[in-house]
Amino acid sequence: MSRRSMQYMALLGLLALCASPSRAQEAVGDPALRVRWEADPPQHGVQTVCGRVINDRPVNAGRVRLRVEGLDERGGVTSRRETEVVGQVPSNANALFCISMPAGAATYRVTVVSVSWAESGSP
């Protein structure tokens, strides 16, 4: 099993094990991709934001980069990190992501920063 496959399987396991009482949120950014996410309860000063990127277009999305920002009660940015979705987001399908953030944000904002579009048959 390749390293990428092992990372993907670990992420799937993490998402399955993490029960989240927070409500799912929609991301902002590239309108061609939708992002649904949830923030887990903080533990040891860290809060995990996990979700999926949904691709409704008839082409694959590769190198999908996300920005996750922690926001205070007034909407001010308190923390910011970026992550890349592992692998492609196939056409008419979805892919998972998970990122650790410093605890303490009132909510989070997830933005699609960049994406490379490819034909459905392209790797």
Domains of the chain in sequence order: 3-118 (2.60.40.1620)
For the chain, residues with pLDDT lower than 50 are 5-6, 8-9, 11-27, 120, 122
> What pLDDT, on a 0 to 100 scale, did the predictor assign at position 21?
39
Residues facing 114 on adjacent strands: 65
Q: Which of 118, 8, 111, 2 is nearest to 62 (CA)?
A: 118
> What pLDDT, on a 0 to 100 scale, did the predictor assign at position 30?
57
> What pLDDT, on a 0 to 100 scale, did the predictor assign at position 93?
95
> What pLDDT, on a 0 to 100 scale, did the predictor assign at position 29?
53
> What pLDDT, on a 0 to 100 scale, did the predictor assign at position 66?
97
Query: Could you tell me the pTM of the whole model?
Result: 0.71
> What pLDDT, on a 0 to 100 scale, did the predictor assign at position 13?
47
- DSSP annotation of 23: P
